[in-house]
């Protein structure tokens, strides 16, 4: 079937878990093959935003933190949530300042992505931030962050060799590498 129309039929949908950040739905469906099935969908109450800050010397800034669901430490681009109905660019500016203390004069939207479209409806937006000015950072109380300034090419190499695995970070860094010829 080559149609772009929805081949799924939803028979029943119920929220089985909810907290301030997400809701999980259990759905009874008819599959594209015409057979009964189930589907679980994670709906986030924020859009994802990620920022690739690039300074005048070609450096970028990564944020390191321990990611509870993975049970491992993760280096990532500055990122966070944009409440539904909020301009993602304004949220990206807030996240960059909170996590790194950086304020950018120039912003470029480079992508809209879906972070894991087989299980969640989460939509993400990626931005390049340039003409950076350093200020104070103020991470949220749940964040224990380290900020690392490094050459952009090194961060791209980390994404290429799976030393960075976060989907927003990998996507953003590889897009920037393509745009910048790295």
Tens of pLDDT, residues 128-143: 999 999 988 776 666 6
**1, pLDDT greater than 60:** no
166 occurs within a structural domain? yes
Residues 69 and 89 occupy one common structural domain: yes
Q: Which domain holds residue 40?
A: 9-44
**150, pLDDT greater than 90:** yes
User: What's the order of all strands across the beta sheet hosting 36-44?
Assistant: 9-18, 22-30, 36-44
Residues 57 and 128 occupy one common structural domain: yes
63 occurs within a structural domain? yes
**54, pLDDT greater than 60:** yes
Residues 113 and 152 occupy one common structural domain: yes
Distances (CA, A) of 162 to 7, 19, 99, 129: 35, 31, 23, 24
52 occurs within a structural domain? yes
115 occurs within a structural domain? yes
Residues 30 and 50 occupy one common structural domain: no
Q: How many domains does the chain have?
A: 2
Residues 6+ positions from 124 with CB-CB distance below 8 Å: 47, 48, 49, 50, 111, 112, 113, 114, 115, 167, 168, 171
**43, pLDDT greater than 90:** yes
Mean of all residue pLDDT scores within the chain:
94
157 occurs within a structural domain? yes
Residues 38 and 51 occupy one common structural domain: no
Residues 92 and 150 occupy one common structural domain: yes
């Amino acid at each position: 079937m080559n149609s772009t129309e929805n081949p799924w039929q939803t028979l029943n949908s119920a929220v089985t878990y909810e907290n301030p950040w997400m809701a999980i739905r259990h759905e009874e469906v008819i599959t594209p093959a015409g057979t009964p099935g189930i589907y679980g969908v994670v709906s986030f109450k924020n859009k994802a935003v990620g920022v690739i800050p690039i300074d005048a010397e070609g450096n970028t800034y990564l944020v390191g933190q321990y990611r509870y669901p993975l049970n491992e430490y993760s280096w990532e681009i500055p990122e966070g949530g944009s409440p539904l109905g909020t301009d993602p660019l304004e949220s990206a500016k807030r996240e960059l300042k909170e996590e790194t203390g950086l304020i950018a004069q120039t912003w470029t939207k480079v992508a809209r992505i879906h972070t894991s479209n087989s299980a969640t409806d989460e939509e993400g937006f990626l931005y390049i931030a340039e003409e950076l000015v350093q200020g104070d950072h103020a991470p949220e109380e749940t964040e224990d962050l380290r900020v690392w300034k490094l050459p952009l090419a090194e961060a791209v190499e980390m994404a290429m060799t799976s030393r960075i695995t976060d989907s927003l970070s990998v996507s953003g860094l590889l897009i920037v590498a393509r745009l910048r010829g790295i």
